[in-house]
Amino acid sequence: MRFSVLRACMAAVCIAACSDTSRPPAAAGHYALASVNGQPMPFVSPPSGGFYYAPLTIGDLVLRADGTYGLGLTWFFEGTWTLDGTRLHLAQFMAQGPNGTDAEAQGDSVVIDVPGSGGNGTVYGTSPPMHYVFRRSTAAAPVVTSGTFALTSINGRGEPLMLVDTVVNGMRFVDRVLYDSVTFTDGVFFRKRRAEEYASNGVGGYESYDTFGSYRGRPDSLVLTYYRPPSSGMSATDRLAVEQQALVRRTAFTTGIRVERYTRR
């Protein structure tokens, strides 16, 4: 009799747990983009498609245990997720509001299909359908998993953070960093914000960016890869050395090495 009651209680608990789609299950974790439209990474849109997609070198989906997610492709999205059987619902995906989109959880993979717009993608302004396959990542967590680091010195000098301050043929060239910070989350994503002002012979300008990417690491370094580089002339990757409680970028020039040091805020 006691065994029958125990089995009944276990069955009731199982039914309640399996039918509760509001509680994120074991699907939580990090999934790395493995292929796009059947093409392994990196993905480059075919020239015959009539529509240009920026090349994709990396992509990440993090399903957090608290029921939120982060998704990095050429843009970065955040929202909430629920799982009902194999149906994975991503709210707020691609700015679609609370309706979001539905994906498919298949074993160690998550498949997201984004429908095309305006036909078959051969007319300007339209886009073809996209088929994204993410696979659960087995990469070890980097030494820095979260936190914000701010640029505090260049070549050992603090504020003002000068990249260039020199005179050539009687003309003064100045380039100053107003702010530069990198925020790491989930052991996967980073957000980089930077602004500079520059002047040449009294004529100046200003530029800034706020962008996202993914990072991997070893005990002594981090490699940051932008989902979309802030400018066409900027490298898609950045490397920072891990030195005690600081992150350091070293850039070689013909005139020497520039050392930029970031410290945790």
Q: Does 34 share its domain with 72? A: yes
Q: Does 80 share its domain with 115? A: yes
Q: How many folded domains does the chain comprise? A: 2
71-77, long-range: CB < 8 A, 24+ apart: 72/189, 72/212, 72/213, 72/214, 72/227, 73/33, 73/132, 73/227, 74/227, 74/228, 75/212, 75/227, 75/228, 76/189, 76/191, 76/212, 76/227
Indicate whether 141 belongs to any domain: no
Q: Does 206 share its domain with 260? A: yes
Count of helices and strands (H, E) across the chain: 1, 18
Q: Look at residues 113, 136, 159 and tell me which one is the last residue of a structural domain.
A: 136
d(CA 88, CA 111) in angstroms, rounded, equals 9
Q: Does 45 share its domain with 153? A: no
Instruction: Give yes or no for a contact between 33 and 60, defined as CB atoms under 8 angstroms apart.
Output: yes
**Which CATH number is 196's domain given?**
2.40.128
Cα→Cα distances 101→80, 97, 164, 212, Å: 11, 9, 47, 22
Note down the domain range covering 33.
23-136
Q: What is the per-residue pLDDT across 193-250, written as a single tens digit (0 to 9) for each?
A: 999 999 987 788 999 999 999 999 888 999 999 998 888 778 889 999 999 889 999 9
Instruction: Give yes or no for a contact between 122 and 49, defined as CB atoms under 8 angstroms apart.
Output: yes
Q: Does 123 share its domain with 182? A: no
Residue 105: DSSP 8-state? E
Is 16 exposed, middle or buried (CB count within 10 Å of its CB: 0-12, 13-18, 19+)? Answer: exposed
d(CA 68, CA 94) in angstroms, rounded, equals 15
Q: Does 180 share its domain with 202? A: yes
Q: Does 129 share its domain with 180? A: no
Q: Look at residues 90, 111, 136 and tell me which one is the last residue of a structural domain.
A: 136
Q: What is the mean pLDDT of residues 14-20?
A: 41
Evaluate if residue 18 carries a pLDDT over 50. Answer: no
d(CA 119, CA 128) in angstroms, rounded, equals 8
Give the global pTM: 0.82
Q: Does 28 share its domain with 119? A: yes
Tokens 């707020």 correspond to what residue? 92
pLDDT-derived band at 2 (thresholds 50, 70, 90) equals: very low
Indicate whether 128 belongs to any domain: yes
Q: Does 31 share its domain with 108? A: yes
Q: What is the per-residue pLDDT across 111-155, written as a single tens digit (0 to 9) for each?
A: 999 887 654 444 444 567 889 999 999 888 888 989 999 999 999
Tokens 């990249």 correspond to what residue? 163
Q: Does 152 share its domain with 251? A: yes
Q: What is the mean pLDDT of residues 5-27?
A: 45
Evaluate if residue 30 carries a pLDDT over 60. Answer: yes
Q: Look at residues 102, 136, 170 and tell me which one is the last residue of a structural domain.
A: 136
Indicate whether 5 belongs to any domain: no
